[in-house]
Amino acid sequence: MPTLPLLTTLLLLALPPLHQTTIELEVGVLVSFDFPGFGEWPPYQRNITSTAVSYVQREVFNSGDVTLSVKYLDDECDSKPGIIAVVKELDSVDSDRVDGFIGPGCSEVCKNTAYIVSKEGFDIPMISYACTLDSLSNKDEYSTFARTVSSVGANGGPMVTIVQHMGWERIGIIYRNINLYEEAAAELKRTLEKAFKNVTNDKMPDGFKVVCYKVWYFEDSADDAEKVSTAREILNECKDEVRVFMILAYDSDVISFLKTAQAEPNFPFKKSAFISLEVTTATVKNDTQPYTRGLLSLSQKNPNNTMFQDLTDNVRAITGNPNIVLDVYSATLYDALLTYAMAAKKIKDEYYSENGSQELAVREANVKALIKNGTRMAKVISELDQFEGASGEVKFDANADRMTSLEVFQAQVIDGTIHMVPIFETDSSGTLNLVQGATFQWNDGSSDTPEACGDDRELCTEPDIERTILLVTLPIGVTLLVIVSVLIVFLLWRNKVQRLQDRCLWKIRSCDVEFKDAAAQSGRFRSVDRSMSRMSTTSDATLNHGIVAYYKNNPVFLKYLNTDIKYFTVTDEIILEFKQVRELTHQNLNPYIGSCVEVPDNFFLASVYFRKGSLQDVLSDSNLKLDDMFKMSFIFDICKGMQAIHNSPIKFHGRLKSCNCVIDSHWVLKITDYGLRKFLSSYSLVDPLKSEDGKFFDLLWMAPEHLRQRETIPERMIGSQKGDIYSFAIIVSEIMSKNTPYGEVNCSAKEIVMKVQEGYSPPFRPDVPLECSDGLAELIKMCWDEQTFSRPDFPKILAFLQVLHPQKQRSITDRMIKMMEQYTDNLEELVAERSEQLAIEKEKADNLLCRMLPKPIAEKLKQGEPVAPQAYDEVTIYFSDIVGFTDLSSQSTPFQVVDLLNDLYSLFDGIVERHDVYKVETIGDAYMVVSGLPVRNGNRHVAEIANMSLDFLNSVNKFKVRHKPDLKLSLRIGMHTGPVCAGVVGLKMPRYCLFGDTVNTASRMESNGLPLKIHMSDDAYNALSKIGGYELESRGEISIKGKGLMTTYFLKGKEAVEESQLLTSLPVPQPADSSVSPSIVRSRSSSSRKSATRTKSKKKSGGPAETVIAIDGTAVFTNKSAEDNDRSDSDQRNNGHNNGFLPSVNA
């Protein structure tokens, strides 16, 4: 026996440290408990996961400080249930939420669930064991997603190897209309075409093509006949294009397609080859030999290692079934749990080593949070070293996708039995290699590889092409020779005529130019004069810039040229320049009319004249207010016009400034004075009076690099596209500030030009106008940058402006017209909408009036006719109230009482609609109905009220109070037959009221009645007895207040009436629309508070009879003694009115 100290030591060693705690991890495993056609999928899922968890606890979390458990979630292999299962977990409180997801296994579920868990606020890791969708590799959308299988797009590389090995120069791709296969088909096509781009060799003399790229479309619910029909259509379309097909569909659909191809008489099945994905021995069976032999199948590499064998043995042992065969997805499910555990352990170990000084509980909480961070987990998984899993060697790429591990099998018949024989396999580097000793067996049983173009290449070579060339080329060649000869002669003739026209079309005769008056001759632009005078008061410039005249009755603007020359020579360069400017047409360019070259007296250029003048004139007009819309429209117009110039043979403007931008009558800006550089450099514009400062003022828009070229290059030849960008920036600053360039600088034009030309640092430029937005100010600075390469071109400027001002891209006129059209359309829609609303409101008003008054009375009131009071010899009046309403009101909130009365009265109103009665009013829990008025109905009034009363009793037995569903309401009903007088009372809110002692007697029948009884007077009894068919019971003589002793009766039901005539099963209506009914109830209650008044006065016993008046449509009674009180229930009802509903006022 060991000694005591030794026992104590052993016990202490066996106990865990007191400070040690455990990180508890739980993952949700998304599987299908009952997938149609498969049952549980993956098979034996619980056995596999329990084996994986045991292995993880034993080999990965062997320190005992981490535990892993699983929760099974049924995704039904369908998107909607899968989303529900995941969202239900994510909606759990944080302590109950799983720490990650394993799965799903179905591609239909993957995409949506992976997107949900990756969103901010969740960020939960998800490791799938079977999803192969390519799009899931996008970490911008699916940042927390990883998988232990390769993506379907990874099949592209192996397919390239297969095509190369077989020497197929074309292939057809047929895919199902499912997202998974659509992505796979697109990726496969892209990979093949990229791999074989510009590749030609002996096996591929014409290069490689993907032909017959077809979608095999049918719904999941389609029957076999529809599948076969669509498959046959595809086969018949493709049979003359290719003999090799890649079929992307479920394995059962692939087998169906092959069967159709083999049975199709016009399709060369035995000379064709078929390739598919994931078709295994589970589908390829002996009875499918005739059409599956020769099929190539790309599949995940079959596991064949010790870990997979141990997994299989363990599942067999657990289930007691030694014949169980697990597939590759059983192994990838196992590896998904193993991957999660290894990544979690790596995160824990790294954090513990870096934060050893933290308290253990803090470290464990932080580690669990890091493991639960899906984005971090996915990154750690992508960085895991290669490890041995149940499915073989596992290695992940940068997207946390498992790197390719594929095998290619071929269905071959060996000794009469079909087998899936491995043909290609991937090595450890992921390269696909031919299995040593592998042989092929195709559809016809031979090892000869089918040709993609057919045995005789008939699908890739045009038949009888040489013969066709011989028969067709010669006559075509002769015909073409004749046509070309004629065409050459024609072109030479047209060119000669064109040259003659080009020499003349641009010329203007002076006799065609007319000056209608002296004012027209003096109608010159003085933009620069005004601008200079504002900038420098010492300038003496008086610019004669041009003259307005008429050419063929159209106003034109003339610019005179140098008259010192004696001869004008038309050169080819000048003809070309005029041809270019005449052919350049754009809505933002002012076209040249031509030129008069009758030297020396009439030598000028003519362009279209616009009365609004130049942009400089518009900006200098202080009376003209330009808003941002106009300013931005001008800027857009300049950009568009300059873009047209830059894209034309003219290449650049060179003289862009605000006085060279004119405004037409529609406020569209047009650029002028462009092109003709050679012409104008030889024959300069006349400007004899321009001072030196005026000449420098013209240079304020010129770029600094061009200012430095003036001494070496003629001024009219200076220019560039980047120089135009600089000039554009100066004009934009003018437009936004409505000031001349450098208008804020107190310097002469010459001083400014010299400062710009010197190229100071920072460069000398105008101040950016304060009216510019930040974006526009930045654009101006970029455009007048000293470095030309920093200036953007006009397409980029336009794009930038369209972002800044997306609504200012159209011209001002277009925008105004558009606004007017929108206003007109909106006005028409508004009128139609208001008319419809008016009709709806009129209908509502009519309906409301018909609810307040009888329809015949309402129709007379609407037509403006007077409604005279009428006497009715005999009607029957109904009163009822709720027994115990006061107690019920005291136990309920006001809103609950309103809802109760609304529900009950909605039920009663529905019954009233089925009888020839008129509802008079409701006061609190009291309900008043009359029959026999305003439309007389003979003696049927008493029967209508009797039938309605029975229906009320029957329905109230089934009525449930919303806030007290166990409470049964008791109704007390009274009815009396007699004469009344009825009429409309009041001008404001007119009401239809009843007058007479019959109203009071009916009320006494109710107040002296019994719960769930229909109490009636002797008059009502006699009237009802005459009709017959009712079960009546005498109550005897009772004392009625104000009436003395009266013989009364109870109506118990109908006699000898078929059940179909009784309303024995009335539905209890749902609470009415709160937007209508409650408001009606409350408005009635409100009006009743103000008007319903019972007036009492003292009288002696046997005093005068009671009289009845009506206020707001409610029958009330006067001349009652103060001592003559109602029965207790009636008193309770009146007390209930005082509880905030219908107050009773004693006068």
Per residue in 948-966, pLDDT tens? Answer: 999 999 998 888 888 888 8
* Residue 436 to residues 146, 364, 424, 950, 1123, Cα–Cα distance (Å): 34, 52, 9, 95, 119
pLDDT at site 979? 94
Tens digits of residue pLDDT in 154-170: 777 788 888 888 888 88
With cut-offs at 50, 70 and 90, classify the pLDDT of residue 381.
very high
Taking only the tens place, the pLDDT of each residue in 648-668 is 998 999 889 999 999 988 888
Confidence tier at 281 by pLDDT (50, 70, 90) = confident
Average pLDDT over residues 181-194: 86
Q: Which of 469-478, 596-605, 677-686, 720-729 has the highest mean pLDDT?
A: 720-729
Residue 599's pLDDT is 72
The predicted pLDDT at position 838 comes to 86
Q: Taking 50 as the threshold, does the pLDDT of residue 538 lie above it?
A: no
Cα distance between residue 875 and residue 1019, in whole Å: 11
Phi/psi at 765 (5° precision)? -140, 165
DSSP designation for 154 = G
On the question of a common fold for 154-304+407-434 and 510-809, the answer reads no
Cα separation, 227 vs 174, whole angstroms: 13
Instruction: Tell whether the model's pLDDT for residue 142 goes beyond 60.
Output: yes
Per the CB < 8 A criterion, the answer to whether 680 and 716 are in contact is yes
1072 pLDDT above the threshold of 80:
no
Q: Which of 267, 322, 323 is nearest to 291 (CA)?
A: 267
At 535 the pLDDT is 39
Q: Select from 908, 930, 911, 910 the least CA-distant residue to 919.
A: 930
pLDDT digit string, tens, across residues 38-54 = 667 778 888 999 999 99
Cα 272 from Cα 235, distance rounded (Å): 11
What's the CATH number for 866-1137?
A: 3.30.70.1230
Where along the chain do its domains lie?
15-151+308-402, 154-304+407-434, 464-496, 510-809, 866-1137
The 3-state DSSP class for residue 294 equals coil
Q: What are residue 605's DSSP bridge partners?
A: 559, 595
CA dihedral of 251, 255, 257, 259, whole degrees rounded to 10: 180
The answer to whether the CB of 339 falls within 8 A of the CB of 378 is no
Q: Which CATH class is domain 15-151+308-402?
A: alpha beta
The two structure tokens encoding residue 24: 């508890």
Length of the chain: 1147
How far is Cα 760 from Cα 777, in angstroms, rounded to an integer?
Answer: 21
pLDDT of residue 702: 92
pLDDT digits (tens, 9 = 90+) for 734-778: 999 888 898 888 888 889 999 999 888 889 999 998 888 889 999
Class for the domain spanning 510-809: mainly alpha
Judged against a pLDDT cut of 90, whether residue 578 lies above it is answered with no
DSSP state of 119: S
Owner of token pair 């603007």: 557
Tell me whether strands 991-995 and 971-985 are parallel, antiparallel or unpaired.
antiparallel
pLDDT in tens, 61-92: 988 889 999 999 988 888 888 899 998 888 87
Which whole number is the average pLDDT over 789-797? 92
Q: Check pLDDT > 80 for residue 829.
A: yes
pLDDT, residue 628, reads 82
Which pLDDT score is estimated for 22? 81
DSSP-assigned letters across all residues of 682-714: HSPBP-TT--HHHHHHGGGGS-HHHHTTTTTS-
- pLDDT of 1059 reads 41
- pLDDT tens digits for range 213-269: 888 888 878 888 888 899 999 999 898 889 999 998 888 889 999 999 999 988 999
Q: Region 515-540: what's the mean pLDDT?
A: 41
Task: Round to whole Å and give the CA distance between 550 and 558.
Answer: 10
What DSSP line would sit under 783-814, residue for residue?
Answer: HT-SSGGGSPPHHHHHHHHHHH-TT--S-HHH
Percent of the chain that is helix, strand, coil (3-state, to 5): 45, 20, 40
419: exposed, middle or buried (C-beta count within 10 Å: 0-12, 13-18, 19+)? Answer: middle
Residue 565 in contact with residue 600, Cβ under 8 Å? yes
CB neighbours of 314 closer than 8 A, spacing ≥ 6?
Answer: 47, 51
Strand spans (E) along 943-1091: 971-985, 991-995, 1013-1016, 1030-1040, 1044-1054
- Tell me the percentage of the chain whose pLDDT exceeds 90: 26
Nearest to 657 by CA among 551, 600, 730: 730
Q: How confident is the model at residue 516 (pLDDT cuts 50, 70, 90)?
A: low
For residue 1079, the model assigns a pLDDT of 31
Residue 815: what pLDDT? Answer: 64
User: Does 1021 have pLDDT greater than 90?
Assistant: yes
Per-residue pLDDT band at 545 (split at 50, 70, 90): low
| C-beta separation of 975 from 956 below 8 A | no
CA pair distance 1116, 995, nearest whole angstrom: 9
Whether residue 1061 is predicted with pLDDT greater than 60 in this model: the reply is no
CA dist., res. 216 & res. 942, Å (int):
75
Residue 329 pLDDT:
86
Whether the CB-CB separation of 188 and 327 falls below 8 Å is answered with no
Three-class secondary structure of residue 999 per DSSP: helix
Around 165, how many Cα atoms within 13 Å sit in the side-chain half-sphere?
Answer: 16
What is the pLDDT, as a whole number, of residue 6? Answer: 39
Measuring CA to CA, which residue among 276, 295, 273 is closest to residue 450?
Answer: 273
CATH 1.20.1260.10 at 154-304+407-434, yes or no:
no
State whether the Cα torsion 444-447-448-449 is positive or negative: positive
How many Cα atoms occupy the beta-carbon half-sphere of 822 within 13 Å? 6
| 945 has pLDDT over 50 | yes
- Asked whether the predicted pLDDT for residue 625 surpasses 60, the reply is yes
Q: Which range (430-439, 458-467, 930-939, 959-968) has the least confidence?
A: 458-467
User: Over the stretch 610-623, which tens digit does the pLDDT of each residue have?
Assistant: 888 899 989 988 88
pLDDT cut 70: percent of the chain above it: 81
* pTM strictly above 0.75: no
Model confidence at 973: pLDDT above 90: yes
Distance CA 861, CA 863 (A): 5
Taking the C-alpha atoms of residue 518 and residue 732, their distance in angstroms, rounded to an integer, is 36
885, 1132 Cβ separation under 8 angstroms:
yes
452 close to 170: Cβ distance less than 8 angstroms: yes
pLDDT digits (tens, 9 = 90+) for 855-879: 777 777 777 777 778 899 999 999 9
**Residue 978: what pLDDT?**
93
CB 267 within 8 A of CB 236: yes
Reply yes or no on whether the pLDDT at 1108 is more than 50. no
Check: CB of residue 928 under 8 Å from CB of residue 1115: yes
pLDDT digits (tens, 9 = 90+) for 680-733: 776 665 455 567 777 888 899 999 999 998 888 877 788 999 999 999 999 999
